[in-house]
Amino acid sequence: MSTGAQHEDSDDIAIIGMAGRFPGAPDLDSFWRNLQGGVESIGHFSEAELLDSGFPLDVIRHPDFVSAKGILDDADMFDAAFFGISPREAELMDPQHRLLMECAWQALDDAGYDSDRYAGRISAFTSTGLNTYLPFNICSHPGLAYKVGGFHLSICNDKDFVATRIAYAMNLKGASVNVSTACSSSLVSVHFACQHLLTHQCDTALVGAVTVHFPQKVGYIYEAGAAYSPDGHCRPFDATPSGLIDGNGVAAIVLKRLDDALAAGDTVYAVIKGTAVNN
């Protein structure tokens, strides 16, 4: 953290607020302790749990089937009343929308800002993973779309509405942009947020991303030469990594021009010296 004098480089961007929920870590402090302790946060599931998730028995017992996933605890929980959302509407919302909304509020709170009282423009840049809640949960009730309306279901589930929903709920007055570039979405969002700050299109930028796939307790059939781990263990930064494993999570950061952050006495967690996007 820094509270030093004003920097000469006016292109520096400060990270002044953070929040996140990850497998085995309901907050950033827990996540940091897991990193320090070398804790493996990948879940492994029983045959009964996999059957409950809808996997056929012959798939579960396939010799190359790997039961592994980083899952998010309490992913179905949401304080709807806090955001002025009815219980019925909350049930219709993709949990990714709900979780990112909570995480975005926590990040702004960590930065020390009340968006209702903030005089400047706060822009929101968000990214979400594939919506599995709609096909696996909502669509299992075929009459629901006729009762609530297809447009309302779209607003509650389409990722194109996440940023504007958050902006509306938190009274953000800057741009509301959804970014979708596959695995790079959240970092591309950071790039766009920095560009908006440097061109003074906003005074503060909120960047958030979420992926939560349902059902959470799943696995995969390992294929040699593919991207996934053969044994259900992920070894990032290891000399002999064997593959990746999917995981669920949500995170948000708050950005500000460094000079403005220092002048306001904000906590500076880190400084972004520059960003770029290529293929």
Answer whether residue 17 shows pLDDT above 70.
Answer: yes
Number of H helices, E strands in the chain: 11, 8
pTM (predicted TM-score): 0.91
Answer whether residue 113 shows pLDDT above 90.
Answer: yes
The H or E element containing residue 49 is: helix 47-52
Give 220's strand partners.
Answer: 66
Phi-psi region of 97 (alpha: psi -120 to 50; beta: other; left: phi over 0): alpha
Sequence-ordered list of residues with C-beta below 8 angstroms from that of 108, at least 6 positions apart, any chain: 17, 114, 115, 122, 170, 206, 254
Distance spanning both ends of the chain, measured CA to CA: 33
Q: Do 12 and 268 form a contact (C-beta atoms < 8 A)?
A: no
Per-domain boundaries in the chain: 13-222+242-272
Q: Is domain 13-222+242-272 classified as CATH 3.40.47.10?
A: yes
* 28-34 contacts, C-beta under 8 A, 24 or more apart: none
- The tokens for 67 are 């039961």
- Please tell me which residue, 7 or 97, carries the higher pLDDT value: 97
Alpha-carbon dihedral of residues 185, 188, 190, 193, nearest 10 degrees? -110
Average pLDDT over residues 192-200: 98
Question: pLDDT (tens digit, 9 = 90+) per residue, 35-66?
Answer: 999 999 999 999 999 999 999 999 999 999 99
Answer whether residue 229 shows pLDDT above 80.
Answer: yes
